[in-house]
Structure 1
Amino acid sequence: MPHRKKDRLSIERRASAPEADPLRLGTGWTKSDLDKPWALIECAGGDSHPCAVHLPELARAVRDGIIEAGGAPAIYHCTDMCDGIAQGTEAMNYSLASREVLAMASELHARTGHFDCVVFISGCDKSVPAHLIAAARLRMPALLMPGGVMQPGPSEMTLDMVGTHYSRLKRRKMTKKEYQFYSEHACPTAGSCAFLGTANTMQILAEALGMALPGSALLPAGYMMQIRMARRTGKSALTLFDKRITADKIITQSAIENAVVVHAAIGGSTNALLHLPAIAHELGLKFSLEMVSEINNRVPHILNVRPSGMHPTSLIWAAGGVPAILRELSRYVHLDALTVTGETVGQNLADLEREGYFQNIPRFLENYSLGTIDIIRPVTDPLSETGGIAVLRGNIAPDGAVMKRSAVVKEMLKFAGRARVFDVAEKALKAIYQKEIKPGDALVIRYQGPRSNGMPELFYITEAISSDKTLNRNVALITDGRFSGGSKGPCIGHVSPEAADRGPIAVIEDGDRILIDVEIGRLDLIGTGEREHTPTQVKRILKKRLEKLPEYKPPERAGLLGLYTGRCAAAHLGAYLR
């Protein structure tokens, strides 16, 4: 079937740019390709990490699908950094800023190449949200091919356990030989790390938003069915083009709410609460921590995978994947939300039911003597009656803070502790290893927000606490920074306003009394030293301290980090580049 010519950007731009045709022919296109719809394949592939290394193969399959559907494909690359490689070093300061770089690169490629539609290929922490931000910004026919998931290593080893093993090695609870063995085999295949960190969370949310084909998220990397899915994705881009279905018609208010519902039910990474508002911002859609709190208080936690559950995320797809999660959550999601199939969420689920998808795919779980119910719990018998995220507010976090309550032991959901304050994360980590942090301490690490230093993850600090049996049930961590999706324990992040914006966290002092009450969503300073104070007295104390606080002077930074820290929005707004 011939593709529509009306409103085709490639035809319009070629008419005013005569050099475009010979330059495309110079890349190997044929003369007949020039008259087809031009399709950008924006690929995050590269040798940067296992989640990116196999993406060029998927790009070739997408290209085949586009050609089969009568389009002219062009593969462009911009790979992402690896948070794991950057972890624990100053390189991690670039992580959140890198999201903006990938989004801008995608925008650059699409706008300057005169393309009619886009397929994004990505699978990791920043590349997936970057591509979703770009899709929203471009408002073109677009969809995403997720990169899929890695297989676990020996003893179901997943990468999040390396930090735990390293902490055990530092404490001489593990031999160097043992540590080296697990380290060498923690990433046995390509794909995103096999725990529910940010990468897997965002792949799931891409499909929940309707921006990826049903069943495409978290396919095991290297499976031939992933290659076939990539080919289908390429063909679907031309269908979206012909039907004039652009990304802004898919990423609607209903889609955003569906994503928050799914995020609550899976116990997803808190980093998604930086990415979803940034996506919503591109389209002027509503997103707030109040919405997150309301949804998490009524949607149950049903996904039994690490770090909040038992199993590696490589089994999610085998349990039926995102379609099975959406089917279980059908009473909570907008079934009338449009998706990249051209049909609604509800229609997609009905189609899959007719095809036998929900009966056939879970047969892969028989290899592990498991059933769907072992991975995806029914909403009538969930892991928890409430969703994975708690939103906290109080005199320490007037604009909010977030916590993954699904990864917290019950006795730490209400905690009163004495503040141990650090302005440098490395000093806090050293204090933990040197046993200067004691049971009952509330570790406060500040000047880690977007404006301070780019908002790095504090993964090694959370692992140092969670791997120490004397601390993991009686020490809390509070920061204006953020955490890895693999973090466990009472870790409260994204405290807003951040210290660099003169938020109250900037004037918390050693020995202050801090109360965390997850049930009522509070994070408060309640006393100083051994004395407790009334809320009015605390308000007065914080006001006096803030009046004496010197103006924050950011360090001189050139290049990307200087640009980002100088122009980024607050964490609760999505930390996007303004």
Structure 2
Amino acid sequence: MDNTAVVNPEFADLYIEEAYNPYRSCIQGLANEPITVRALLRRADDLLCDEPEFAGLGDHSLEAIVARLAANRPRVAIIQGSPDHPAHMFDHEHTLRAAARIWQNGGVPFTFGIPVICDGTAQSNIGQSYSLASRNHTATAVNINFEGHSYHAAYVLSGCDKTPTGILSGLASADRARRQPARGTAPVWAIFVPAHVLKGGTIPKRTRQKLQAIQDAAIAAGDAQLAADIEENCHYILQCSSDEAFLGHLQRAEEKGLVTRAEADAILNELAAATCDDKGGICAFNGTGNSSRTLVAALGFVPAESELLTDEPGTDVVQRNVDQLFRMFNKPEYSVCNLLEKNYANAIRIHGATGSSSNLMLHMPCVMRHAGYDVSLFDYARVRDSHAVPDVFAHSLTEGRDTFVLAQQAAAGLHHGMTSLFKVLTDLGVPMDLDAPTVAGLTWRQRVAAIPVAVSPALPQEKSVIRIQPIRAISGTDVMRGNFFSSCTLKVAGMSSESWQRFNGRVFLVRYYENEIDCNDDLRSTNLVERLAARPALTPELLAAIRRHAGAPADQSVTEMITSGVLAFAFVIAGQGPKAFGMPEMFAPSQYMRHHGVIEKTSIMITDGRYSGVTKGACVGHMVPEAYEGGGIGALVDGDLLWVQLAERRIDLLDTPDFLAGRLRPLPAAPARAELVAARRARIEERQLQVAACSMMEGVTDAEYGVVPLAVHKRATLRWPA
């Protein structure tokens, strides 16, 4: 190892051009911080010293560090996550490799970490009430540390769920504030390196045999539906999401006496132990983790080589990433806010084409509002509706086309990740802004021109995740309107074409729940159909009207109406909005509905909460105003009728007397039902006490504006597009 190595010649004369250097004007930082840098570099040297290609760090004494800080060499913060999240297990080594290269390039490396909540771990418990709040807290924490220690740029070890957009929001807010002339500071630059993809697990043979035994017992007991539901779930790669479905199946089996609680728990333990590969990473389903990976890449923040890693990046990859970051310095066109402004429309279209998580319908306006742009959910809808975007992303957890396979295909040179998606959409006539900049120092036009084909002919299209021809015309997430709410979202990408056609124009009967727990109790029961059939709201007059509307036999029983799909339900879960309960994901009830063969084919779910990015089926979320704020969803009751017109992007509450008379007429608005709404709000307020006060989401906007702090909302005044 050569400890006399000099600064990388490419950056030997690189100093950040700005009027104010706090490490020169304020001696305290110059006195405090050098020891943290030296400790970081010592650890990096210990890690890398035996690598033959490592050229050494040269002089990294306190005097050398002080000299660089005083001279305004680039100060780069490496932002890492907490190692109690699978995506951040090995951030320590990645951080040290990046720190070494920052020093070799003449910069000054720092690092800080942030807590990262695992949405899978937080599902179906109070942790989900902290998940969305964590995004806003992350933005604040990143901004405070970044501004408090006056860093110029960030090398972000981008992880899962809410943290990528939380970090990006904090950096964007810093960049916007630094543009005030009185600051005299340079803008903010950043590169994001997403964590590698976690390989999905496989059900152990002995566990599969136990599940098969339960299926056989279910058939013998006359419950072929339970056997079919278990069989369907066994075809998925083993992930925490499929484990949740097995939990519901086994609870149904226990209720039917097919398995004991101890036997069910043993099976669940075996599944859990086989789920996650010990290399860690971001789960292989196209949930919020991988949707966030897609988002930061579409926004131009990810070096192409690091978009889809299958393992932790080696020293050579990290060095190239850091070099790309350094080439952006002193170039305002590559600043965080500029990349966001130029690439936002591209990101909306990529989000639609890839069927990404509906959670991003909150996170995308959140990031833009932190950057100062007056963007809402309706800007997303405007861009989405201005030109049809086809589905070109054949992602599947059952057919060998998950995100890990996508990453393997990229590693084999069979496609070029985000650049391939841009090329496919451009070739299909979708108006992508190819002149938008990226951290590669190239525009998308230059990147697209550099690849001869989007997907190699050596990769059969039926095996490719990225398709060069549309899979179908409908895609992405729709913004819905209605007579009892302002807006909500529906992930069309999560519905099959057949179910979209079947649900379009249908009338659904409301089954109302005040919280997720009550809905879960219903959906995972073995006698769900009987429970639904016994609801008092199902009066003879209403049932007769539903039969007439559907053209069903007049003597059809309630049970037959449910199992045949004549009687379809809207499972409404209210009181889950951001101000009520932190806007948790309704993953468990949506998963139980999806893996219940009868209900999956006939019913929808509606909530003012959120859904997991992996959710499939007719799941309507983000309803605004939320129940806690007096939204119409909080005034619905069992027996109300909803007319769902997917093609018109509308959900309307029907006039029940008119329906009984054979007419479909939406009400002017939701009924007041003041006493009922007041009683429900009181119960919401009592339930709120379960959430720690410091993480309550008070003083935030509604979902239409990304659930951002009001101070951020107030400053978001810039027009977009400019």
TM over 0.5: yes
Deviation at 1:337, TM superposition (A): 0.6
Unaligned runs of 5+ in 1: none
Deviation at 1:178, TM superposition (A): 4.9
Give SS of 2:12's match: coil
Choose which of 50, 66, 88 in structure 2 pairs with 1:34: 66
1: CA distance between counterparts of 2:449 and 2:103? 29
Deviation at 1:54, TM superposition (A): 2.0
Deviation track 1:50-80 (CA, whole Å, cap 9, x = no partner) reads 1121222222222233123221101111131
Check 1:209–1:464 CA distance in 2 against 1; reply closer, same or farther (3 A cut): same
2: CA distance between counterparts of 1:392 and 1:307? 28
Choose which of 398, 419, 423 in structure 1 pairs with 2:510: 419
Amino acid at match of 1:2: A
Amino acid at match of 1:186: T
2: CA distance between counterparts of 1:444 and 1:110? 42
Which residue is equivalent to 2:319? 231
Check 1:70–1:452 CA distance in 2 against 1; reply closer, same or farther (3 A cut): same
Which residue is equivalent to 1:204? 294
Instruction: Work out whether 1:154 is the aligned partner of 2:202.
Output: yes
Give SS of 1:26's match: helix
Give SS of 1:316's match: helix
Alignment of 1:302-317 (within 5 A): 302-306=392-396, 311-317=401-407
**Identity level (%):** 24
Deviation at 1:26, TM superposition (A): 2.0
User: Are the counterparts in 1 of residues 126 and 691 from structure 2 also a CA contact under 8 Å?
Assistant: no
Alignment of 1:411-450 (within 5 A): 411=499, 412-414=502-504, 415-434=506-525, 435=528, 436-437=531-532, 439=562, 440-450=568-578
Give SS of 1:516's match: strand
Choose which of 296, 307, 310 in structure 2 pairs with 1:220: 310
Unaligned runs of 5+ in 2: 1-10, 39-59, 176-187, 204-236, 534-561, 563-567, 711-722
Check 1:309–1:547 CA distance in 2 against 1; reply closer, same or farther (3 A cut): farther
Which residue is equivalent to 1:13? 22
Choose which of 566, 589, 592 in structure 2 pairs with 1:464: 592
Deviation at 1:187, TM superposition (A): 1.1
Which residue is equivalent to 1:274? 362
Q: What do you get for the CA RMSD once the two structures are aligned?
A: 2.8
2: CA distance between counterparts of 1:471 and 1:535? 24
Which residue is equivalent to 1:143? 191
Which residue is equivalent to 1:499? 627
Amino acid at match of 1:137: S
Amino acid at match of 2:444: V
Which residue is equivalent to 2:703? 571
User: Are the counterparts in 1 of residues 16 and 329 from structure 2 also a CA contact under 8 Å?
Assistant: no
Deviation at 1:547, TM superposition (A): 8.7
Instruction: Work out whether 1:60 is the aligned partner of 2:60.
Output: no
**Which 10-residue stretch deviates more, 402-411 or 81-90?**
402-411
Alignment of 1:200-349 (within 5 A): 200-222=290-312, 224=314, 227-244=315-332, 245-252=334-341, 254-296=342-384, 298-306=388-396, 311-317=401-407, 318-319=409-410, 320=415, 321-330=417-426, 331-332=429-430, 333-349=432-448
Give SS of 2:437's match: coil
Instruction: Work out whether 1:538 is the aligned partner of 2:667.
Output: yes
Choose which of 119, 125, 130 in structure 2 pairs with 1:89: 125
Which residue is equivalent to 1:510? 638
Instruction: Work out whether 1:395 is the aligned partner of 2:431.
Output: no
User: Are the counterparts in 1 of residues 378 and 704 from structure 2 also a CA contact under 8 Å?
Assistant: no
User: How many residues get paired?
Assistant: 561
Which residue is equivalent to 2:109? 73
2: CA distance between counterparts of 1:458 and 1:532? 35
User: Are the counterparts in 1 of residues 78 and 98 from structure 2 also a CA contact under 8 Å?
Assistant: no
Check 1:306–1:456 CA distance in 2 against 1; reply closer, same or farther (3 A cut): farther
Which residue is equivalent to 1:23? 32
Rg: which structure is higher? 2
**Which 10-residue stretch deviates more, 542-551 or 334-343?**
542-551
1: CA distance between counterparts of 2:335 and 2:104? 21
2: CA distance between counterparts of 1:371 and 1:263? 21
Check 1:266–1:432 CA distance in 2 against 1; reply closer, same or farther (3 A cut): same
Give SS of 1:212's match: coil
Choose which of 161, 171, 188 in structure 1 pairs with 2:252: 171
1: CA distance between counterparts of 2:420 and 2:104? 30
Deviation at 1:537, TM superposition (A): 6.7
Give SS of 1:403's match: strand
Check 1:404–1:570 CA distance in 2 against 1; reply closer, same or farther (3 A cut): same
1: CA distance between counterparts of 2:111 and 2:198? 24
Check 1:180–1:562 CA distance in 2 against 1; reply closer, same or farther (3 A cut): closer
Give SS of 2:654's match: strand
Which residue is equivalent to 1:184? 273
Check 1:397–1:216 CA distance in 2 against 1; reply closer, same or farther (3 A cut): farther
User: Are the counterparts in 2 of residues 93 and 454 from structure 1 also a CA contact under 8 Å?
Assistant: yes
2: CA distance between counterparts of 1:488 and 1:532? 35
2: CA distance between counterparts of 1:444 and 1:559? 22
Amino acid at match of 1:545: R
2: CA distance between counterparts of 1:558 and 1:428? 19
Amino acid at match of 2:312: G
User: Are the counterparts in 2 of residues 43 and 75 from structure 1 also a CA contact under 8 Å?
Assistant: yes
Give SS of 1:493's match: strand
Deviation at 1:20, TM superposition (A): 1.9
Deviation track 1:523-556 (CA, whole Å, cap 9, x = no partner) reads 111133863797877126x254359743945456
Deviation track 1:90-142 (CA, whole Å, cap 9, x = no partner) reads 12100000011111111111111121221121210011111111221121112
Choose which of 465, 486, 497 in structure 1 pairs with 2:614: 486
Check 1:41–1:371 CA distance in 2 against 1; reply closer, same or farther (3 A cut): farther
1: CA distance between counterparts of 2:519 and 2:691? 28
Amino acid at match of 1:344: T
Deviation at 1:420, TM superposition (A): 0.7
Amino acid at match of 2:81: G
Deviation track 1:447-468 (CA, whole Å, cap 9, x = no partner) reads 1011111100011101111111
User: Are the counterparts in 1 of residues 200 and 284 from structure 2 also a CA contact under 8 Å?
Assistant: yes
What TM-score, normalized by structure 2, do the two folds share?
0.72
Check 1:296–1:58 CA distance in 2 against 1; reply closer, same or farther (3 A cut): same
Give SS of 1:341's match: coil
